Amino acid sequence: MRTQQTTAPAIEISQLTKSYGAARALDGVDISVPEGSVFGFLGPNGAGKTTTLRIMTGLADPSSGSVRIFGRDVRDPETRRSIGFLPDVPGFYPWMNAREFLRFAGGLFGLTGRVLDDRVDVLLRLAGLEDVKTRVGGYSRGMKQRLGVAQALINAPRLLLLDEPTSALDPIGRKEVLEMISSLRGRTTVFFSTHILADVERVCDTVAILDKGRVLTQASIDDLKARYGAHRLMLEVDKDPSGFAEELRMKPWVSAVDIQADGTMALTLSDLSQAQTEIPTLLVQRGLALKRFEGGEVGLEEVFVDLVKGGAR
Amino acid sequence: MKGAIRFLGKEFTEIVRTWRIWVVPGLLLFFAITSPILAIMTPALIESLAQGPSGIQIIVPDPTYLDAYAQWVGNLQEIVMFALIFTAGGMIAGERSQGTAILVLTKPVSRASFVVAKFVSNLVLLAAFTVTGALACWGVTYLVFHEAPVSRLAASTAAWLAYAVLILAFMTLYSARFKSLAAGGAGLGTFFMISVLTLWGPAVKYSPAGLLKASGDLLTGTQVDLAWPLLTTALGVVLLLGAAILVFRRQEI
């Protein structure tokens, strides 16, 4: 059931705050999610990811600020027709089986007859539950999570909101869910919160990193890596690197030097061009031969850790 | 609207397929059948217990259909009411604590529909099984006593049912606001408060307390005017449901 297409972003969050007494769970969050993207909402536990999602789905009210979904207020019932939502711990009626629950969920969107039958069949297959006849009360956490993803898709949503969708899944279930999310790219906007960086790196095109209720950065994965990856350098020499590493640590353009198990030095730099100019001279002075000199392959994990430890740059 | 109707349908299915079918409906049918039997056996039981070496003899008058009806209404007023209060305490609170409310309320089902569906499904369950129980009680009473006028039983049961609907509305509000156990406690407090009000004339004449008292009085053929109690009960139900919707709308799930 698709509502009228708009040119507004799929999600527009402006200056969102949420306080519980003196504690501030969200502190001026601004996020814009373009339609059709797969958006990763990253943050350590307690960063405010679930609170944001609860406000986005109308389950909680913001203290201030606004959330608009396809240009509409989240409290507008029409908005909910465009959304599929999977909470972090989905709760089901234990007396229903998977087929009954999906039929019930579809019925809440007004789906009936052949359309509902077909969707339920497709989603049961997708969730790997087509042959499971037992009641949901006896399901494992992983089975419940897969059923949760299936029910979130029953209305063919324009926007799929997933709160930690892979956290309870085994590696195969995780791979399947990530492939399913990836397959929705371009057709459905996917916004999913997680603390599993590998998942984000695998399927997302854009991420926002949240910490202590604040967005530290929002950018495409490539932008993030380019922005932070340029400041890393991998260096390998033919002799013991410890003396040279010590000398490098004294340089104002070096932020950190880590010597890895294979002897490679991982340099974090505040000025890459200065490093590229000075390092060859330093090597000659110490009589060291260069075996490797390259820009480090920075992972999202390193970006995430740097940002969360150091605050926004 | 379709979503709200589908949710109401789920409520009815849930009643039939879970423990809920066995508590209030089960108690209603159990007391409907056992009340007349217990009424006819009570004198014999008392006399047999009293016969002993002391030589004291207790003479109990022969029981009538009115004793059967009184047993039935007495059970409605106490045991069935307690069961209703504690099962209804979880009607909304249970969905909140189990997380099922989240999956429903993030779909096109309004919070008002959610509350109304809960009240309506419990009301239908209560009314259907109270009527069934009253019919069963009448049938068994006729079999046991060969006499069972309908009017007194019907009037008395109807007065209790109207009062029970008010209690159900209170429970809807409490369950929207509190956790299951706290809602049950609040419901019990309300029940005792109304019971105390039956001792005060003006409350009996104008408030829902009149219905509770009437459910007993009507059995004995006492003439009672229930216009005001019925009116204030109806008003109370509407106000309580409105309050439950407001409370639930403001709540963070």
Residue B7: list chain A partners with CB under 8 A: 108
For residue A78, pLDDT beyond 90: no
For residue B182, pLDDT beyond 60: yes
CB distance A92–B100 less than 8 Å?
Answer: yes
3-state secondary structure of A73: strand
From the candidates B19, B98, B107, which should be mutated to test the interface with A, based on the most A CB atoms within 10 A? B107
Q: Which of A89, A95, A105 sits opposite B107 (nearest CB)?
A: A105
Distance from CA of B111 to the nearest CA of A (A): 10
For residue A2, pLDDT beyond 60: no
pLDDT tens digits for B109-158? Answer: 999 999 999 999 999 999 999 999 999 999 999 999 999 999 999 999 99
CB distance A109–B109 less than 8 Å?
Answer: no
From the candidates A1, A50, A93, A163, which should be mutated to test the interface with B, based on the most B CB atoms within 10 A? A93
For B107, list phi and psi in degrees, rounded to 5: -110, 175
Among A301-310, B65-74, B134-143, B202-211, name the one with the lowest average pLDDT. A301-310
Q: Which amino acid is at B212?
A: L
- Position A178 scores a pLDDT of 87
- Position A48 scores a pLDDT of 94
CB distance A109–B107 less than 8 Å?
Answer: yes
Q: How many Cβ contacts (< 8 angstroms) between chains A and B?
A: 69
From the candidates A108, A115, A164, which should be mutated to test the interface with B, based on the most B CB atoms within 10 A? A108
Rounded Cα–Cα distance for residues B223 and B238 (Å) = 28
Of B103, B19, B153, the residue nearest A161 (C-alpha): B103
Which residues lie closer than 8 Å to A78 by C-beta, 6 or more apart?
A: A3, A72, B108
Rounded Cα–Cα distance for residues A182 and A178 (Å) = 6
Among A147-161, A245-259, B131-145, name the one with the lowest average pLDDT. A245-259
What percentage of chain A reaches a pLDDT higher than 90?
50
- Position B251 scores a pLDDT of 94
Q: Which amino acid is at B36?
A: P
Which residues lie closer than 8 Å to A81 by C-beta, 6 or more apart?
A: A1, A3, A109, A155, B108
Between the two ends of chain B, the Cα-to-Cα distance in Å is 22
Rounded Cα–Cα distance for residues A233 and A42 (Å) = 26
Residue B100: list chain A partners with CB under 8 A: 91-93
DSSP B108: S
Residue A104: list chain B partners with CB under 8 A: 6, 10
Residue B215 CA, distance from chain mean position: 12
Of B181, B213, B183, the residue nearest B198 (C-alpha): B213
Residue B18: list chain A partners with CB under 8 A: 95
Which residues lie closer than 8 Å to A144 by C-beta, 6 or more apart?
A: A90, A92, A136, A168
Distance from CA of B249 to the nearest CA of A (A): 10
CB distance B106–A89 less than 8 Å?
Answer: no
For B206, list phi and psi in degrees, rounded to 5: -115, -15
Residue of higher predicted confidence among A307 and A120 = A120
Q: Angle of helix B24-50 relative to helix B65-75, nearest 10 degrees?
A: 130
What is the pLDDT confidence band of residue A23, given thresholds at 50, 70 and 90? very high
What is the pLDDT confidence band of residue B207, given thresholds at 50, 70 and 90? very high
Q: Which residues of B18-30 are buried (b: 16+ CB within 10 A; e: fewer)?
A: eebeeebbebbee
Length of chain A, in residues: 313
Residue B2: list chain A partners with CB under 8 A: 107, 110
- Measured between alpha carbons, how far is residue B127 from residues A20, B24, B121, B122, B168 in Å? 43, 11, 10, 9, 11
Residue B3: list chain A partners with CB under 8 A: 107-110
* Whether the Cβ atoms of residue A169 and residue A183 lie closer than 8 Å to each other: no
Residue B106: list chain A partners with CB under 8 A: 57-59, 80, 83, 85
> So what's the ipTM on this one?
0.88
pLDDT tens digits for A108-144? Answer: 999 999 999 999 999 999 888 999 999 999 998 888 9
Kindly state whether A54 is in contact with chain B, defined as any CB-CB distance less than 8 angstroms.
yes
Which residues lie closer than 8 Å to B223 by C-beta, 6 or more apart?
A: none
Tell me the domain boundaries of chain B.
2-250
Of A1, A27, A87, the residue nearest A216 (C-alpha): A27
Residue B17: list chain A partners with CB under 8 A: 95
Sign of the Cα pseudo-torsion (A189, A195, A197, A199, in order)? negative
Which residues lie closer than 8 Å to B40 by C-beta, 6 or more apart?
A: B63, B67, B68, B144, B145
Kindly state whether A109 is in contact with chain B, defined as any CB-CB distance less than 8 angstroms.
yes
Kindly state whether A115 is in contact with chain B, defined as any CB-CB distance less than 8 angstroms.
no
Residue of higher predicted confidence among A75 and B141 = B141
| DSSP E strands, B59-155 | none
Of A127, A128, A115, A193, the residue nearest A156 (C-alpha): A115
pTM comes to 0.84
For residue B238, pLDDT beyond 60: yes
- Measured between alpha carbons, how far is residue A75 from residues A58, B105, B248 in Å? 6, 11, 14
When pLDDT is averaged across residues B42-47 and rounded to a whole number, the result is: 80
pLDDT tens digits for A26-41? Answer: 999 999 999 989 999 9
Rounded Cα–Cα distance for residues B154 and B152 (Å) = 5
- Position B235 scores a pLDDT of 98
Rounded Cα–Cα distance for residues B210 and B213 (Å) = 5
* Whether the Cβ atoms of residue A160 and residue A69 lie closer than 8 Å to each other: no
Rounded Cα–Cα distance for residues A267 and B100 (Å) = 50
DSSP B78: I
Dmax over Cα atoms in chain A, in whole Å? 80
Distance from CA of A8 to the nearest CA of B (A): 21
Of B83, B109, B108, the residue nearest B184 (C-alpha): B83
